[in-house]
């Protein structure tokens, strides 16, 4: 019996076990196992933090180390919806941490102006789904400011934070992953952290970067992700992917929450099918690490890309196209994408929409049997 047939029988048995039904199986397996990051070699003491605490710590460091830094957005004064700015207004005052009107275009427009005038502007968009009214400001103003002025002016001191992705009950207006929209925009940098250490180091890098940056923070990780985070002021590189698991048979690529799903997939492939899977966290969407991705694809010859955003024009398409161009003669099977379908993000059918570990395992087995 082929690997695919064995796996389908296994899934059918799970589905029927105890009369749980297909939907409950998907709900049960939607939850990922979070594994703490041990790859960051930053010296010094560490404190146990979840991701929103690590972000709060990074913002605290930014405000303390740079007197020109300011934080603004809807409800940030009391900590925001996810408490990432908790107590910062008490510590640094209303002039440096303040609420704005409910107007994303105004938030980003103000941030551009403040950054141009020399402030270190850190804007919070309450949910990534709300960023669309500010698309013109981000794409036509922030991203182009340096270019259109012939490098005489820039708004590189602008950083935009936005919680993104599925959270379990967000439905169509609170669960989107819009990173691909901004990947098409030269002049921006876009990062997606997978946990507390990455969130702190990448956020500090973005705040100090000479270009405007967007940090998409997977909201389901705010409290689910817990690590021993370095207390010191440290930065992590933008544009450098992380190889989290070494492998030789197939490459699994994701970012944000999906990284943890793919690490479980690698465990399943190893334990049940004796398959060696390499897991890559892309870390940043723009710029992205072509070298690491293509090196892995060349080595394994098979690639699965997983992301929560819809299939058509998702950022996985860019990865697949590049791998096909750069690694074609080394590929043993077509590049596979496991994504959300081309529909609005659902509510009760969220478990069917997301790229669960079972869907990713199926995709991997198809490539291995190709």
Known catalytic residues are 104, 174
Rounded to whole angstroms, the Cα distance separating 245 from 275 reads 13
> What six digits make up the tokens of 39?
């790859």
Rounded to whole angstroms, the Cα distance separating 296 from 283 reads 16
Rounded to whole angstroms, the Cα distance separating 330 from 26 reads 35
Tokens 């008490």 sit on residue: 90
DSSP 45-80: -EEEEEHHHHHHHHHHHHHHH-TTEEEEETTGGGT-
Measured CA distances, 155 to 110, 134, 320 (Å): 11, 15, 32
Task: Give yes or no for a contact between 309 and 339, defined as CB atoms under 8 angstroms apart.
Answer: yes
Number of alpha carbons in the 13 Å side-chain half-sphere of residue 90: 5
Q: Which of 287, 282, 280 is nearest to 213 (CA)?
A: 287
Task: Give yes or no for a contact between 4 and 366, defined as CB atoms under 8 angstroms apart.
Answer: yes
Q: Which strand (E) or helix (H) includes residue 35?
A: none
Task: Give yes or no for a contact between 132 and 161, defined as CB atoms under 8 angstroms apart.
Answer: no
Q: Which residue spans within 147-271 are E strands per DSSP?
A: 158-164, 189-191, 213-218, 226-230, 242-245, 250-254
Rounded to whole angstroms, the Cα distance separating 241 from 292 reads 7
206 by DSSP, 3-state: which?
helix
Rounded to whole angstroms, the Cα distance separating 43 from 316 reads 35
Tokens 């923070």 sit on residue: 217
Tokens 């602008």 sit on residue: 158
> What six digits make up the tokens of 234?
């440290």
CA triple 316-320-202, angle to 5 deg:
45
């Amino acid at each position: 019996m082929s690997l695919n047939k064995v796996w389908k029988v296994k899934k059918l048995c799970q589905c029927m076990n105890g009369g749980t039904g297909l939907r409950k199986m998907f709900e049960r397996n939607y939850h990922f196992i979070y594994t703490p990051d041990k790859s960051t070699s930053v010296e010094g003491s560490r404190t146990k933090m979840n991701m929103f605490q690590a972000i709060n710590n990074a913002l605290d460091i930014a405000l303390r180390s740079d007197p020109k830094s300011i934080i603004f957005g809807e409800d940030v004064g009391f900590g925001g919806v996810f408490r990432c700015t908790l107590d910062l207004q008490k510590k640094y005052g209303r002039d440096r941490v303040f609420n704005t009107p409910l107007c994303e275009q105004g938030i980003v427009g103000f941030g551009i102006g403040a950054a141009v005038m020399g402030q270190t502007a850190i804007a919070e968009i309450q949910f990534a789904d709300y960023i669309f009214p500010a698309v013109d400001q981000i794409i036509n103003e922030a991203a182009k400011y340096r270019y259109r002025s012939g490098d005489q002016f820039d708004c590189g001191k602008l950083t935009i934070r936005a919680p993104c992705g599925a959270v379990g009950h967000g439905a169509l207006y609170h669960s989107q992953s819009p990173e691909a929209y901004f990947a098409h925009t030269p002049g921006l940098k876009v990062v997606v952290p997978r946990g507390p250490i990455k969130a702190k180091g990448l956020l500090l890098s973005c705040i100090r970067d000479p270009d405007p940056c967007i940090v998409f923070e997977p909201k389901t990780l705010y409290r689910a992700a817990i690590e021993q985070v370095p207390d010191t002021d440290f930065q992590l590189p933008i544009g450098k992917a992380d190889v989290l698991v070494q492998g030789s048979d197939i490459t699994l690529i994701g970012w944000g929450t999906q990284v943890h799903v793919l690490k479980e997939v690698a465990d399943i492939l190893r334990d049940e099918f004796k398959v060696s899977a390499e897991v890559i966290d892309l870390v940043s969407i723009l710029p992205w690490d072509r070298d690491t991705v293509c090196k892995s694809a060349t080595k394994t010859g098979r690639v699965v890309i997983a992301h929560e955003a819809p299939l058509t024009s998702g950022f996985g398409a860019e990865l697949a196209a590049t791998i096909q161009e750069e690694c074609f003669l080394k590929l043993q099977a077509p590049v596979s994408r496991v994504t959300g379908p081309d529909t609005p993000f659902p509510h009760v059918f969220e478990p069917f929409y997301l790229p669960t570990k079972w869907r990713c395992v199926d995709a991997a087995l198809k490539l291995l049997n190709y």
